[in-house]
Amino acid sequence: MAYITSAALEQHGFVILDRYDQAADPQEWRDLEYVDWKSSGITRFAPLASAQGEIEVNGFWNHTPPRADKDGVWVTSQVERAPNLVRRAQEPGANIGRCRVIELQPNSYVDSLYNLHQDDNNRLNPDGTGWIVRGYYNLSDDPQSVMILREDRYDPTTEIRIPLAAGTQLIVDTQRFWHAIWHAGPEPRYSLITSWESGPELDAYIAKYHGTSEHTNPPLDQQVVDDAQAKVQRRLAERAATVASKSKA
């Protein structure tokens, strides 16, 4: 058996959909209730769907009983404040797991490389069902910020940088890619993140909004890349040394 995956994501692991007219909607993310939850930078999260419909953002596998990132329960008080965000998450008609708005404070390129990680979206997801991928819909207007994707965490030649203007809509296999956001600021960045189950519904949605993996990175000076690689390697080595000394103590 194998997971059901999306042909559109098979080769490149991400698609960029048509840009959404974000300015036409109210800024619902400003009305939501956020919880402090550190994830790849200085972040807070506003759950729209969570494991049990509570205002908390833990992985569904950390609940009792543990379960896959599917069948998220809508948080009533949040849904009332953000009907457009909920409508957008529900539009594909695919099963939804975690659905939340993330708030991220500004950071640097080095920070973002340090923060590169792979998501654990498919923990406990039964073989033979749909592979979980995630939507990243930029709510604030951050054209100078980018989502960084790397097939190989330490190889900058595998890097994809997708600018995050308001209304940018990405669907990414974040369990495949090392990923993080480089957010220029100066204001916090807001993004709607939805876990969707791959299948015919999601495929039809990607086709409807002309999902494409064709993309050219915005330019970035090679010296900036090289310096950041060196700095992040140092930071990672320092962290490893700290962890080692703690485990000895």
**By the rule CB under 5 A, 28 interacts with Fe ion:** no
Stretch of 13-21, 171-179, 215-223, 224-232 contacting Fe ion, by CB under 5 A: 171-179
Q: 25 or 169: whose CB is closer to Fe ion? A: 169
Binding mask 122-161 for Fe ion (x = CB under 5 A): ----------------------------------------
Residue nearest to Fe ion (CB): 119
What are the distances in angstroms from CA 1 to CA 80, 127, 186?
40, 6, 47
Least distance in angstroms from the C-beta of 74 to Fe ion:
22
Tokens of 32: 């939501």
Q: Considering Cα of 158, then 152, then 140, then 121, what sign does the dihedral take?
A: positive
- The verdict on whether omega for the bond into residue 65 sits within 30 degrees of 0, i.e. cis, is yes
CB of 177 vs Fe ion, minimal distance in Å: 9
* DSSP H or E stretch at residue 160: strand 159-164
Stretch that binds Fe ion, among 98-106, 116-124, 144-152, 222-230 (CB under 5 A): 116-124
Decide: 96 and 49 in contact? Cβ < 8 Å. Answer: yes
Residue 119 near Fe ion by CB under 5 A: yes
Alpha-carbon distance 174 to 35, whole Å? 23
> In this complex, which beta carbon is closest to Fe ion, that of residue 81 or of residue 147?
147
Q: Which residues bind Fe ion (CB under 5 A)?
A: 119, 174
